[in-house]
Amino acid sequence: MTMAMMTYLEAIKKGIEEEMARDERVVIFGEDVGGVKGGVFGVTKGLAEKFGEERCFNTPLTEGQIGGLAVGLGLVGYRPIGEFQFADYILPAVNQLISEASRMRYRTKGDWTAPVVYRAPYGGGVRGGLYHSQSTEKVLFGQPGLRIVTPSSPHDAKGLIKAAIRCDDPVLFYEHKRLYRLLKEDVPEEDYTVPLDKANVVREGEDLTVIAYGMVLNHALKAAETLSEEGIEAEIVDVRSLYPLDKETLVKAAKKTGKVLLVTEDNLEGSIMSEISAVIAEEALFDLDAPIRRLAGPDSPSMPYAIALERAFLVDEDKVRTAMRELAEF
Amino acid sequence: MKKLEASGLTTEEIIQAYRTILLGRRLDERLWQLTRIGKTSFNISGQGHEVGQVAMAMAFQPEKDYFLPYYRDMSACLVWGMTPKDILLGSLGKEDDPSSHGRQMPNHYGSKEHNIVSHSSTVSTQFPLATGVAYGAQLKKADYVTLTATGEGAANQGEVQEAMNFAGVKKLPMVFVIENNGYAISVGVDEQYANEKMSDRGPAYGFPGIQVNGNDFAETYLAFKKAADNARSGKGPTLIELMVTRLTSHSADDDHSIYRTKEDLAGLREKDGLTLFEKQLIEEGYLSQEELKAIDSDLRKEIDQATEAAERMPDPTADSILDQVYAD
């Protein structure tokens, strides 16, 4: 297998590019997505030139329209990818995502479908303040009909975006904006996909189980290496499929160590981890040796801008390590 | 009002139009009856919109053009190919209901077979979808036209402005229609919008906006014909404000006598497009009073038969609750 060194961002771009070359029904659009700019982060840079301005184009600054345009294209056989410039800006489009995309198949019993992908950069730690830092996946979590996935490595980024584009369901594809250029690894140059409905055990261990995704998953992986030197071995699971959840993998990992730490950079209350906690409580309670623990951001409405405030919000590697050690020693 | 022959349609086509207009009325009356006797739970009707809708829909080519309707568009859907039985299956919540297989409330028309796209109840969400369907025609270099409809109340939603703006930018092959019956449930137009005409919004987005009298069959047909021809030939979208009358309460759960004036209610019969169209048919020599009656009698029988047939069809079973949440 030929490998190429790629960042998380390059892997997403490569996946999209391969799918656009493979299937001319794939089109991509959003604010600043077309033209020479190719997105505010550069994910779609070069695609308009390569595939033409009809297949990679700018939209007016109208997120509801981006949401509905994608569904309409999906209805007539296209494989549209709508980009929301920031996951925070998905909010004006929630009506289209919930009322249309996630219900089209169900409300016509499969006569009409919405095979669309919505990409959205999420997550904090970039001095983005309240509206460029949020983890809005919980807003759309728990909408049957809609899938939400997020990669936490370059390998998964390429395989997941390709699977999302080929999927007949609407898929919300969350990209952690801090991982865009932070992560770099060897990624297969061949065609491959990563399943949209499977969590991934990324590290095996016997002492505690950490369940996370995105930036904080990467913190947990680093913390696990240092804790290993202390004799603590952590099992680490990347949720990856945020909705619907891969309950089987999550419960199995919880039962394996009997100690579960759920980490999210979102607020503590009402996050995806709240649901995972309920699932584990229902299905693994008698295998647990400690109460389920959640490590998350504080319940302030969003991540503030000033350095001290942003740091106070962020779940960083030290906080993850401390929580892991405490639980292992419980 | 324009003479019917000004439409350029043949006598047969005009008589067929009348049959569909009357079918729309009689079928809607049947839906009200079924609601009142408890066989269906709800009805929301297009009584007073039929002439405008049929004239509108006849300007398109249903075998290839797409329609994204709203809940009062039953008569237009009949032109597009849906049958009275299809409509009844929806109101009765039957498994074979082509709109939603018994999953949506009545009057949420759709049919994959007939290029009629399913719609939600959060009004006007179909507008952005319609732009996607229309952009698909540009990508495929196909010559289908996309028509989407909403009411004058729902036309104030942000998604309507977003969709029309995009359609203007991309010169999409589509036609927008706002069916203006003067009421958003109980709220009159004075509280809904400040511009003189809803159609003024077309030029605001860079394409023509035309207001037409929905009771004037020929005027309506010609306006939509031109709009559809323009769309098909690459000249971009048109917004048409179709002025119609709401003859009934908003829905089966509403009583318009509490918010409409006595004068307004008393004047409704004079504004009924069906009566005006029948008068035109007689005066312009298309049909006699007896022939009108014969058509009515035929349609009533057809609706009775369709009702019986639809009622005999199976309901969805409880074990199908999770079918088609996701692709397999």
Which CATH number covers residue B129? 3.40.50.970
pLDDT at residue number B328: 84
Measured in residues, chain A has a length of 330
Instruction: Tally the C-alpha atoms within 13 A of residue B256's C-alpha that lie toward its C-beta.
Output: 23
Same domain, A147 and A205: no
Best CA proximity match to A87, nearest among A49, A41, A45, A46: A41
Q: Is residue B215 part of a domain?
A: yes
- Residue-wise pLDDT for B18-57, tens only, equals 999 999 999 999 999 999 999 999 999 999 999 999 999 9
Taking the CA of residue A324 and the nearest CA in chain B, the distance in Å comes to: 36
Q: Is residue A227 part of a domain?
A: yes
The SS3 of residue B182 is coil
Same domain, A125 and A206: no
CA distance A306 to A308: 6
User: Contact A75/A112 with Cβ under 8 angstroms?
Assistant: yes
Interval A49-64 mean pLDDT: 98
Taking the CA of residue A54 and the nearest CA in chain B, the distance in Å comes to: 7
Residues linked to residue B187 through DSSP beta bridges, in sequence order: B184
Facing B326 at nearest CB: one of A68, A107, A169: A169
Q: Is residue B318 part of a domain?
A: no
CA distance B290 to B302: 18
> Taking CB atoms and an 8 Å cut-off, how many pairs form between chains A and B?
135
Q: Considering only CB atoms, which chain B residues are within 8 Å of A68?
A: 125, 127-129, 131-132, 159, 162-163
Q: What is the largest CA-CA distance in chain A?
A: 58
pLDDT greater than 90 at residue B141? yes
Q: Is residue A193 part of a domain?
A: no
Residues of A carrying an active site annotation: 132
Domain boundary among A162, A188, A214: A188
At residue A38 the predicted structure's pLDDT band, cuts being 50, 70 and 90, is very high
Give the list of residues 6+ apart from residue B166 with CB closer than 8 angstroms, or none: A59, A60, A62, A65, A69, B128, B131, B172
User: Which residues 85-104 in chain B show a CB within 8 A of chain A?
Assistant: 98-101, 103-104
**CATH code at position A209:** 3.40.50.920
User: Contact B162/B128 with Cβ under 8 angstroms?
Assistant: yes
CA distance A146 to B262: 49
Helices (H), chain B: 11-36, 50-58, 74-80, 84-91, 126-140, 158-170, 201-204, 217-232, 262-266, 273-283, 289-312
- Residue-wise pLDDT for A66-95, tens only, equals 999 999 999 999 999 999 999 999 999 999
Measure Cα distances from B114 to A104, B76, B98, B201 in Å: 17, 12, 10, 30
Q: Is residue B328 part of a domain?
A: no
Q: Is residue B13 part of a domain?
A: yes
Q: Is residue B321 part of a domain?
A: no
Q: What is the dihedral of CA A57, A58, A60, A66, to 10 degrees?
A: 60
The ipTM, to two decimals, is 0.97
Interval B233-240 mean pLDDT: 98
- Residue-wise pLDDT for B162-193, tens only, equals 999 999 999 999 999 999 999 999 999 999 99
Interval A118-125 mean pLDDT: 97
Interval B108-132 mean pLDDT: 98
Q: What is the dihedral of CA A43, A105, B45, B23, to 10 degrees?
A: 120
pLDDT at residue number A289: 98
Same domain, A115 and A225: no
Structural tokens at position B264: 């307004």
Q: Is residue A118 part of a domain?
A: yes
Taking the CA of residue A93 and the nearest CA in chain B, the distance in Å comes to: 9
pLDDT at residue number A158: 98
At residue B257 the predicted structure's pLDDT band, cuts being 50, 70 and 90, is very high
Rg (C-alpha) for chain B, rounded Å, is 19
CA distance A92 to A205: 42
**Three-class DSSP labels, B226-248:** HHHHHHHCCCCCEEEEEECCCCC
- Residue-wise pLDDT for A228-284, tens only, equals 999 999 999 999 999 999 999 999 999 999 999 999 999 999 999 999 999 999 999
Q: What is the DSSP string of A171-213?
A: EEEEEETTTTTT-EEEEESS-----TT--EEEE--SSEEEEE-
Interval B208-214 mean pLDDT: 98
Q: Is residue B320 part of a domain?
A: no
Best CA proximity match to A218, nearest among A263, A253, A259: A263
The sheet with strand B209-213 has its strands ordered as B66-68, B146-151, B174-180, B238-243, B209-213
Phi, psi angles (nearest 5°) of residue A294: -120, 135
Q: Which residue do the tokens 């055990």 mark?
A: A201
Residue ranges making up the domain that contains B84: 4-313
Q: Is residue A271 part of a domain?
A: yes
Facing B325 at nearest CB: one of A72, A76, A145: A145
Count of structural domains, chain B: 1
The model's pTM is 0.98
pLDDT greater than 90 at residue A1? no
Best CA proximity match to A192, nearest among A44, A9, A321, A15: A15
Residue ranges making up the domain that contains A63: 3-188
Same domain, A107 and A213: no
Q: Is residue A66 part of a domain?
A: yes
Facing A68 at nearest CB: one of B104, B112, B159: B159
**CATH code at position A120:** 3.40.50.970
Q: Considering only CB atoms, which chain A residues are within 8 Å of B327?
A: 105, 113, 167-169
Interval A178-184 mean pLDDT: 98
Q: Considering only CB atoms, which chain B residues are within 8 Å of A110?
A: 323-324
Same domain, A164 and A259: no
pLDDT at residue number B249: 97
The SS3 of residue A297 is strand
Q: Is residue B325 part of a domain?
A: no
Structural tokens at position B223: 């306006």
Share of chain B above pLDDT 70, in %: 100
